[in-house]
């Protein structure tokens, strides 16, 4: 591909103290694509997200945003330039209202009109959210909380959504619905980078995928190829 990657890792290494977490990781997320990162516990998935968002600084290697090295840029710089995360377990500001949650998503924006416009878009996307605007976010059901969490992320007008385990903690019936929602947002042109335990489901909607193992990328392929990979099937998809 000749296109510039939206977000890219070039042999990134990270450490927590003396512990080596990510080891020479290469990743690239292109505009408008849906990719997923698979891996077991302690494989470095969350660290990857934190490094992409600038909450962890790599010890070596480069993090690029639109081809620019952003190793030293703060989280706010990346949020302004279109990177946003939907945290694990949604993590809404539980004691604030739904409206306040959404507005905090647009914290770094000044354009009042644009913000109002985006709010309207979100109400259109999630009519249920509009009914709950003045309620505390913590009183919503799991599905509604997921909507608010995604809505909050969309409020910063991102070009890529980083999603940390979007189906974790959701009722089984809602997981499918949630993936449909992600796909819907993706179809409107949003790039999505998803970290997911539910490998089967994630790969069925993703374009490409990586598999992390103890901080190293061990597989990097299209979603179909990964789904067909016998090694992966045995270790992640629960088939023997």
Partner 1 sequence: MMTDTSASKKLFEQNWKRISFWGSICALSQVFICLVGLPSELNRRILIESTLSLGYLFILWIPLVFGYIVSKMVELEGVENPKPGAADLLSGALTGLFGSLGLVLLMLGIDNLDMRDPLINWNPKLFRLLTFENSIGFGSLVWIAVGVGLGTVGASLHQMSSQIRKMVAYATFGLFSFAVLEDVIDDLSEGFRLEWLSDMIYAKKGGMTVTSMIVLAVVLALLPLITRGKFKKTVDRYRSDATPENQRRNSVVLFSIIAVLVIVLPWFLGGIINELLANVGLFLLLALGLNIVVGLAGLLDLGYVAFFAVGGYTTAVFTSPNSPWFSPETHFGISLLVVVVMATLAGLLIGAPVIRMRGDYLAIVTLGFGEIIRLLFLSDWLKPYLGGSQGITNIPAIDLGPWEVRGADPRSVFYMVLAFCVLAIYVSWRLQGSRLGRAWMAIREDESVAEVMGINTVNSKLMAFVVGAVLASFSGAVLAAKVGSVFPKSFEILVSIIILVVVIVGGMGSITGVMVGSLVLIGILGGPRQPGLLQEFQNFKLLIYGALLVFMMLKRPEGLVPTARRTRELHQEEYLQDAWLGDDENEEREEVGEQL
Tokens of 141: 């059901």
Kindly report the CA angle at 190 between 222 and 103, in degrees rounded to 5?
A: 140
Tracing tokens 């416009």 back to the chain, one arrives at 117
Q: In whole angstroms, what is the distance from residue 16 CA to residue 141 CA?
A: 35
Q: Which of 10, 123, 143, 205 binds partner 1 (CB under 8 A)?
A: 143
Tracing tokens 């709950």 back to the chain, one arrives at 132
| 234 lines the binding site for partner 1 (CB under 8 A) | no
Q: In whole angstroms, what is the distance from residue 170 CA to residue 167 CA?
A: 6
| 93 lines the binding site for partner 1 (CB under 8 A) | yes
Give the interface segment with partner 1, choosing from 61-69, 133-141, 200-208, 225-233 (CB under 8 A): 133-141
CB of 104 to partner 1, least distance (A): 5
Q: Which of 138, 184, 204, 234 binds partner 1 (CB under 8 A)?
A: 138
CB of 67 to partner 1, least distance (A): 21
| 24 lines the binding site for partner 1 (CB under 8 A) | no
| 85 lines the binding site for partner 1 (CB under 8 A) | yes
Q: Which of 40, 60, 69, 107 binds partner 1 (CB under 8 A)?
A: 107
| 79 lines the binding site for partner 1 (CB under 8 A) | yes
Whichever of 32 and 143 has its CB closer to partner 1, that residue is: 143
Radius of gyration over every alpha carbon of the chain, rounded to an integer in angstroms: 18
Residue 90: partners with Cβ closer than 8 Å, 6 or more residues away = 145, 146, 148, 149, 169
Residue 124: partners with Cβ closer than 8 Å, 6 or more residues away = none
Whichever of 161 and 203 has its CB closer to partner 1, that residue is: 161
Q: In whole angstroms, what is the distance from residue 29 CA to residue 161 CA?
A: 11
The interaxial angle of helices 98-105 and 142-154, nearest 10 deg, is 30
Helix (H) or strand (E) holding 218: strand 216-222
| 91 lines the binding site for partner 1 (CB under 8 A) | yes
CB of 222 to partner 1, least distance (A): 29
CB of 179 to partner 1, least distance (A): 12
Q: Which of 94, 131, 184, 234 binds partner 1 (CB under 8 A)?
A: 94
Q: In whole angstroms, what is the distance from residue 31 CA to residue 36 CA?
A: 14
Tokens of 160: 């890529």
Q: Which of 44, 58, 82, 105 binds partner 1 (CB under 8 A)?
A: 105
Interface contacts to partner 1, rule CB under 8 A: 53, 55, 74-76, 78-80, 84-85, 87, 91-96, 100, 103-105, 107-108, 135-136, 138-139, 141, 143, 152, 156, 171, 173-174, 176-177
């Amino acid at each position: 591909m000749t296109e510039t990657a939206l977000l890219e890792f070039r042999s990134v290494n990270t450490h927590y103290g003396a512990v080596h977490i990510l080891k020479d990781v290469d990743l690239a997320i292109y505009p408008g694509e849906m990719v997923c990162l698979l891996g077991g516990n302690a494989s470095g998935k969350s660290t990857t997200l934190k490094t992409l968002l600038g909450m962890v600084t790599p010890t070596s290697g480069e993090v690029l945003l639109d081809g620019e090295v952003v190793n030293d840029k703060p989280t706010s710089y990346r949020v302004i330039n279109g990177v946003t995360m939907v945290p694990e377990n949604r993590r809404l500001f539980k004691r604030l209202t739904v409206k306040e949650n959404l507005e905090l998503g647009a914290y770094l924006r000044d354009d009042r009109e644009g913000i109002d416009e985006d709010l309207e878009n979100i109400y259109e996307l999630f009519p249920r959210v509009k009914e709950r605007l003045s309620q505390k976010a913590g009183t919503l059901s799991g599905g509604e909380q997921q909507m608010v969490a995604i809505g909050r992320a969309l409020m910063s007008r991102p070009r890529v959504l980083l999603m940390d385990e979007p189906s974790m903690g959701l009722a089984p019936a809602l997981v499918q619905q949630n993936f449909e929602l992600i796909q819907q947002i993706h179809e409107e042109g949003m790039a999505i980078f998803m970290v997911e335990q539910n490998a089967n489901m994630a790969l069925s909607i993703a374009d490409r995928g990586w598999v992390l193992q103890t901080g190293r990328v061990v597989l990097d392929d299209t979603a179909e190829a990964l789904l067909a990979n016998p090694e992966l099937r045995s270790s992640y998809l629960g088939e023997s």
